[in-house]
Structure 1
Amino acid sequence: MNERLHSVLTQRGVAPEALAAACEVDPKTVGRWLRGRLPHPRHRFSAAQHLRVEETFLWPTQQPRAGRPAGGLGVEVVGTYQNRASVPREMWLTLLQEAEEHIDVLVFSGTFFAQSNPHVTKMLAERAADGVQIRLCFGDPNGQAAAIRGREEGIGDTLAAKIRASLTYYRPLLPEEGCEVRLHDTTLYNSLFRYDGTLLVNPHVWGQPASANPLIHLKRVDDTGWFDNYAQSFEAVWATARPWTTELEGTTAHG
């Protein structure tokens, strides 16, 4: 099965029959693509254009088409989502499971990250055991940045409470080698989710929760593009964040 093609069709609300019409092929042909058949190059290009994603995301084993740039911003942007909530759950799971070197998360509370996947802590621990570096950076519930963001969203102290609740999910990771959790007190212009050379950027719109804001799906191609700019911002925040310990926070276990 081509899970990526299936997920994008679902996310975009495009029926297989509509994709077939856009690519000028029989609907049965699209059915074969969904079952794993590799389309003709002309059809791969048409499908990617119609679905507004990079061809190499739908069929990652393929090389870039002749005449297209080998790098740069156009290739880096794999796709966009109207809001973070519309990103298929399967994508989050696949990216986590396939990471081999890095998993970096920068958020304020990130409650969805655990609540949408009850096994996220176990999965992160398994990835760490396989040598993946896990770095999770949450907002400091006692910091000024979380207080300001809470006021901007109109939820007051609720954001700090959400951060404390979210942290309880990750308590089992603290003793795990290769896993580290820190708290930051900085203005966030976006949430970041990095899995090796893939980066999901969730820009923050003033006064709106992150889940309601757009998401940009990036793929690293060189060290001069968007990917590295965002990755460097993670490193800057991480360097100033403090390690989280349950003794200092006094959090309670989640139900």
Structure 2
Amino acid sequence: MANERLRDAMLRNGLVPATIAESLGVDPKTVERWITQDRIPYPKHRHAIAALVKESATYLWPNAVSGERAAEVSKSEVVQIYPRRGAVPADLWQRLLDQATGQIGLLAYAGLFLPEQNPRWVETLRLKAAGGAKVEILLGDPASSHVAQRGADEGIGGAMASKVHNVLAFYKELRGEDNAAIYFHDTTLYNSIYRFDDEMLVNTHLYGTPAAYAPVLHLRRLPGGEIFDNYVASFNRVLSHAQAVWPED
């Protein structure tokens, strides 16, 4: 049985077996067997290939790590747990953004606190996009029932929709950057997700409690771990149904 995930990832990145083989210092026939016979490479080769095709090793070879081992590794993906968002060090948000070079994803209803509290936030996002990083910002559709319900749950009524319009005004400086996009989503969010390459802050949501007072997980992706990739998958599912605000196409 062929490894179609690996084959597809290579095609999307313009890679052929000979290229992979040269990069890893192995025989091209070995790479062919990894694809056509779904042979599982050694861990060092799995990690190297995953980096080349910009996918996680667990996605390319889901059966390479036992469930018990994956559970142990996943524990180590949790860098820190904060009892509330306000306990997250203020400089951590900017540091994670400064270090990101490839993938920046923000999923929230509004996340207004970021540009409000950090005057460098929007400009740094613009510079990251100009430098080639993909910036994807998913905001709650202010006209959606889910945003209205979240506002009602927090006791702030229509103020939640107003927050979305306010944060959109901050992000207008990103408009025109090829690698930056804003989307509206119509989703019940169980967490707000802030991704910076292979690190992430996950702000959990508690019923009737503003996100600022809910716990935050600081995660760092590890080969063989599952927690980080599960949140990435959640982000991507919301993105797949989101409506682009701009660029409109």
Offset at residue 223 of structure 1 (A) = 5.2
Tell me the equivalent position of 1:79. Answer: 80
Match status 1:104 vs 2:111: no
Q: Deviations over 1:134-185 (max 9, x none)?
A: 0000000011110111111111111001111111000121211100000101
Partner SS, residue 181 of structure 1: strand
Partner SS, residue 238 of structure 2: helix
Give me the TM-score of the superposition, normalised by structure 2. 0.69
Tell me the equivalent position of 1:56. Answer: none
Tell me the equivalent position of 2:18. Answer: none
The code of the aligned residue for 2:187 comes to T
The code of the aligned residue for 1:221 comes to L
Indicate if the aligned counterparts of 2:181 and 2:247 stay in contact, CA closer than 8 A. Answer: no
Alignment of 1:30-109 (within 5 A): 72-109=73-110
Tell me the equivalent position of 2:121. Answer: 120
Tell me the equivalent position of 1:148. Answer: 149
Give me the TM-score of the superposition, normalised by structure 1. 0.67
Mapped to 1, the partners of 2:224 and 2:104 lie a distance apart of: 18
Mapped to 2, the partners of 1:179 and 1:213 lie a distance apart of: 28
Mapped to 2, the partners of 1:225 and 1:246 lie a distance apart of: 32
Partner SS, residue 103 of structure 1: strand
The code of the aligned residue for 1:109 comes to A
Indicate if the aligned counterparts of 1:110 and 1:166 stay in contact, CA closer than 8 A. Answer: yes
Mapped to 1, the partners of 2:188 and 2:197 lie a distance apart of: 25
Mapped to 1, the partners of 2:152 and 2:246 lie a distance apart of: 26
Mapped to 2, the partners of 1:85 and 1:244 lie a distance apart of: 29
Match status 1:130 vs 2:134: no
Offset at residue 128 of structure 1 (A) = 1.1
Indicate if the aligned counterparts of 2:146 and 2:186 stay in contact, CA closer than 8 A. Answer: yes
Consecutive aligned runs of 4 or more in structure 1 exceeding 3 Å deviation: none
Indicate if the aligned counterparts of 2:105 and 2:135 stay in contact, CA closer than 8 A. Answer: yes
Match status 1:229 vs 2:217: no
**CA RMSD in angstroms, aligned pairs only:** 1.8
Offset at residue 246 of structure 1 (A) = 10
Indicate if the aligned counterparts of 1:171 and 1:246 stay in contact, CA closer than 8 A. Answer: no
Unaligned 5+ segments in structure 2 are 1-68
Offset at residue 81 of structure 1 (A) = 0.5
Mapped to 2, the partners of 1:139 and 1:239 lie a distance apart of: 14
Tell me the equivalent position of 2:140. Answer: 139
Q: State the aligned residue count.
A: 179
The code of the aligned residue for 1:186 comes to T
Mapped to 2, the partners of 1:148 and 1:77 lie a distance apart of: 31
The code of the aligned residue for 2:215 comes to P
Unaligned 5+ segments in structure 1 are 1-68, 248-255
Mapped to 2, the partners of 1:212 and 1:223 lie a distance apart of: 31
Offset at residue 85 of structure 1 (A) = 1.1
> Share of identical aligned residues, percent?
38
* Distance verdict in 2 for CA 1:245–1:210, change over 3 Å: same
